Amino acid sequence: MFETLILMLDATMRVSTPLIFAALAGLYSERAGIVDIGLEGKILGSAFAAAAAASVFGSAWVGLCFGILASVGLAMIHGFACITHRGDHIVSGVAINTIVAGLTVTLSMYWFGMGGQTPALVGDARFLDITFPFADAMESVPVIGAIYSNLLSGHNILVYLAFAMVPVTYWVIYKTRFGLRLRAVGENPHAVDTAGISVSLIRYRALIICGILCGLAGAYLSTAHNAGFLKDMSAGKGYMALAALIFGKWRPVPVLLACLLFGFLDAVAVRMQGVVIPGIGEVPVQAIEVLPYVLTVLLLAGFIGKAIGPKAIGRPYVKERA
Amino acid sequence: MSQAKVPTWVNIALIPALNIMLAFLVSGLVILAIGENPIEAAGYLIYGAFGYDEGIGYTLYYATNLIFTGLAVSVAFKGGLFNIGGEGQAYIGGLGVGLVCLSLDHSMPFYVIAPLAIVGAAIFGAAWAYIPAYLQARRGSHIVITTIMFNFIASSLMVYLIVNWLKEDGRMAPNSRTFEENAWLPYLHELLSPLGIDIGDSPLNLTFIWALLCCVFVWGLIWHTRWGYQLRTLGTNPTAARYAGIDTAKVTIWAMLISGGLAGFVGLNEIMGVNHNLLLNFTAGYGFAGIAVALMGRNHPIGIILAAILFGALYQGGAELAFEIPTITPEIVIAIQGLVILFSGALEHMFKDRIEGFFIRRAVA
C-alpha cells in the first residue's frame, strides 16, 4: 500500500511538472490583466522547437533555449495583438493555438519527414534523471528511505525547477516592486498609469516571463518526459493549467496544490484502469479524467469557494488623452 | 468621434479582404520557407476545391459543418458572449442524432427519423450549452472558461458512452453499429441523378440544404424579431440593455441554447449524413474553425456562408495540395485558419482604425 502510494506520488510529480510551469506562466500573464488561452499553443510550440533543436544539436540545453525562444515569440504575438492593438485576448489565444497546431506538424514533416514526429532523442539530447547522493544506500531505510530514494530522488532537473519556481513566483509577485506593479496593472491600470509607469511595458514583461515558463513546460514534455515531439503532444495540458490557475485562485501556492491535485488525479486514472473496487464495481477512467474540469466548473459556479480573477483582466488599456 | 460615416463597403469588404490577404501572404511565406512555390500551391488548392465536380461537393460538405459552427459562434457573439464550446456541443449533438437513429432505425421510416434527428441534435447541443449559459447568467462564472471545460467533459463522456455502452458487440473499433439505410440522409448526388444532373460522388448531403435554411432562420431571428433586437442590445451595451428592461440573464441563456443547438447540427451532417454510425472525434476541430468563420463572416449569415465555403475550400484543396506536393501536409490548412483568426480577429484594429480614419477625414474634407 505504502509502496503504491509512493509510486503514485512519484507519477504525480512527473505529470504535474508541465502543469506547474504553465499555470505559473498563466499566473504572470493573468495577474497583469492578459487572459491567456494560448498556454496550450505555447507549450506545443516550445515542445516542437525544443525537440527539433535538441535532435539537431544533440543537446537538451540548446533545445530548451530554442523552446523558450519559440514560446516567448508566440507570447509576443499575443502581446502585439492584445496590448499594442487592443485585440480580443481570447481570439488572439485561439489564433495562437490554431497556428501552432498546424505549423508544428507542417514544419516537422518538412524537416524530419516522419509523419509529424521528430527523431527519438538519446543521451545528452534529453534531460536525464538525477539521482540524489546516497539514494541507493538510503533505500533500505523504512519510510524515509522510500520517500528519499524513490519519490524525491530520480527526477530530471526540470521537475525540481518547476517546484522551485513556486516560491520564486511568490517572492516576485508579492515581495518585489515589479510584482506590485504587475498586480496593480491587472487590478487598476489607470492607477499605474497615473503613477507614471507604462502599463504596456509591464504587461509585455509579464508576457515574456509567461513565454519563458511555457517554454520550460514544452521542453519538459518533449525532451524530458518523452524522447521527442509527437503531433498534438500538449494534449490539453495548457487548458488544464488554465483550470489549475483558476482553481488556485491566481495565487502561487494554491495553484501549485491545484496542479498537484490534477496531476494526482491523472496518476489515479492510470492506476485505476480496469481495477474493480468491491461493492462499487469498475470505476470508469473517464470519470476520474474529467474531475479537474468538473471541479473547476463547480468552483467557478461558486459551489466550492469563489474564484475572483484580477479586476482588469481581459480588458485592453486605453490611455486617456486630453 | 466625428459624425462622418465610414462607407459600408469599407467595413464589409475592404477590411476583411485586407485581413485575409495578409493571412494568405503569411501562409505563402510559410510555403516558401519549406521550399515550395506558393503560387503553384495555390493553384493546386483552388483546382482541388473548385476544379471538378467531386471537389466542389467535398468543399460544400466541409462548408456545411462550418456554416453550423460559424452560426453558433456568431449568435453568441451578437449577445456579447464567446462560445468557445462549439466543439463539445457539436460532439454531444452528434450523440443526440446517433441515439435517435440507433433506437428508431429498425422500426420507423426515414421521414419520421429525420425530423426527430434534427430535434435530437438541437436539444442535445443546446443542453450542453445550457449549463455554461446558466452559470454565466445566474452565477457570473466566465463562459469562455466553462465552455472550454465542457469541451473536455464532452470528450470524456463520449469516450465512456461509446466504449462502454454503444460499441458494437464483439468488435474492437470504438464506434456503434452502422444504422439501417432508412436512417441515412440522402446524398445530394443521389437526389439529383434522377433529374439527369451529375454532380459527382461526394459526401455532400441533405444537411447542406438544412444549413442554408438555418442561415435564413438566424438572419430572421437576429434582425427581424424583438428577441433579436434584445440580443443585439445586450451585445452592444449590457448596461443599456438592463436599463431598457431587458431580462439579460434570460437572453444570455437563450442565445447560448440556440448557439449550442446550431453547433449540434454538425452531428447531423457527420453522423447521419456521412458516417452512418456514432464514432469518436467526428467533430475534428470544426467547433474551433467556427470561430474563424464567424470572425471572417462578420457575424452575418451571408458572410458566414462565404467564409464557410472559403474554409471548406481550404480543407478540400489542402488535401489535394498535400497529395500533389508531398512535403506539404494537410495540417498547413489549420495554420492558415489560425492566421485568419489572428489577422481578422485579434489584429482587427491594426488596419481598421487607420482605414476608417482615412475615410472619415476624406468625408469631412
> For residue B341, which residues of chain A lie inside 8 Å, CB to CB?
91, 94-95, 98
Residue B154 lies in a domain: yes
Helix (H, G, I), strand (E, B) or coil at A85: coil
Instruction: Name the residue with higher pLDDT: B85 or A270.
Output: B85
The whole domain housing A137 covers: 16-238
Our count of domains for chain A comes to 1
DSSP letters for B90-124: HHHHHHHHHHHHHHHTTTS-HHHHHHHHHHHHHHH
If one counts the domains in chain B, the total is 1
Half-sphere exposure of A247 (CA within 13 A, CB side): 26
A82-137 residue pLDDT tens: 999 988 899 999 999 999 999 999 999 888 888 778 888 888 888 988 888 888 78
Question: Which of A277, A314, A266 shows the shortest CA–CA distance to A87?
Answer: A314
Residue A222 located in a structural domain: yes
pLDDT of residue B4: 63
Query: What is the spatial distance between Cα B197 and Cα B201, in angstroms, rounded to a whole number?
Result: 12
> Does residue A135 form part of some domain?
yes
Determine whether the interchain pair B348/A300 forms a contact, defined as Cβ–Cβ distance below 8 Å. Answer: no
pLDDT band at A47 (very low <50, low <70, confident <90, very high): very high
Q: What is the pLDDT of residue A158?
A: 95
Q: How far apart are CA B150 and CA A243, in angstroms?
A: 12
Query: Which chain B residues touch A265 with a CB distance below 8 Å?
Result: none
Q: How far apart are CA B45 and CA B325, in angstroms?
A: 11
Residue B192 lies in a domain: yes
Residue B264, in any domain of the structure: yes
What's the ipTM?
Answer: 0.89
Q: Which amino acid is at B169?
A: D
pLDDT, one tens digit per residue, over B342-363 is 998 888 888 887 888 888 888 8
Query: What is the C-alpha to C-alpha distance for residues B92 and B155, in angstroms, rounded to an integer?
Result: 9
Is the model's pLDDT at B26 over the cut of 80? yes
Q: How far is A147 from chain B (nearest CA, A)?
A: 34
pLDDT single digits (tens) B136-169:
998 888 898 899 999 999 999 999 999 888 888 8
Grid cell 463539445 in the structure block, residue = B88
B163 exposure class (CB count in 10 Å sphere: 0-12, 13-18, 19+): middle
Average pLDDT of every residue of chain A: 90
Q: Which of B82, B140, B149 sits opposite A293 (nearest CB)?
A: B149
Examine the pLDDT at A157 and tell me if it is beyond 90.
yes
Query: What pTM did the predictor assign?
Result: 0.91
pLDDT at B127: 97
Categorize the per-residue pLDDT at B17 as very low, low, confident or very high, splitting at 50, 70 and 90. Answer: confident
pLDDT for A176-186, tens place per residue? 999 999 999 99
User: Alpha-carbon distance A320 to A289, whole Å?
Assistant: 47
Mean pLDDT score across all residues of chain B: 91
Q: Is residue B216 part of a domain?
A: yes
- Cβ–Cβ of A105/B337 closer than 8 Å? no
Query: Torsion over CA of B309, B314, B13 and B2, rounded to 10 degrees?
Result: 110
B358 touches chain A (CB under 8 A): no
A-chain CB neighbours of B337 within 8 Å are 98, 102
Mean pLDDT of A171-195: 94
Give the A:B interface size as CB pairs under 8 Å. 148
The answer to whether position B165 is within a domain reads yes
CB contact under 8 A, A95 and B345: yes
Most confident option among A58-72, A302-316, B291-305: A58-72
Given a cut of 90, is residue B8 above it in pLDDT? no
Residue B2 has pLDDT above 50, yes or no: no
User: Is residue B265 one of the residues assigned to a domain?
Assistant: yes
Question: Does the pLDDT value for residue B1 go beyond 60?
Answer: no
Q: How many angstroms from the chain centroid is the CA of residue B170?
A: 35
| Domain range enclosing B243 | 68-284
Average pLDDT of the residues in B20-28: 91
Question: A208 near A72, Cβ under 8 Å?
Answer: yes
10 Å CB burial of residue A322 (0-12, 13-18, 19+) is: exposed
CB contacts of B333 in chain A (<8 Å) are 102
Chain B within 8 Å of A305 (Cβ-Cβ)? no
Give the whole-angstrom CA distance, residue B228 versus residue B226: 5
Residue B47 C-alpha, separation from nearest chain A C-alpha, in angstroms = 21
Q: Does a structural domain hold residue B113?
A: yes
What's the pLDDT tens digit per position in B196-242?
A: 888 888 999 999 999 999 999 999 999 999 999 999 999 999 999 99
Residue A322 pLDDT > 60 = no
Question: Residue A133: what pLDDT?
Answer: 84
Does residue A188 form part of some domain?
A: yes
B271 lies in some domain: yes
Q: Residue A64 falls within a domain, yes or no?
A: yes
Is B138 within 8 Å of chain A by CB? no
- DSSP designation for A281: E
Chain A positions touching B339 (Cβ under 8 A) are: 95, 99
B161 close to A (CB below 8 A)? no
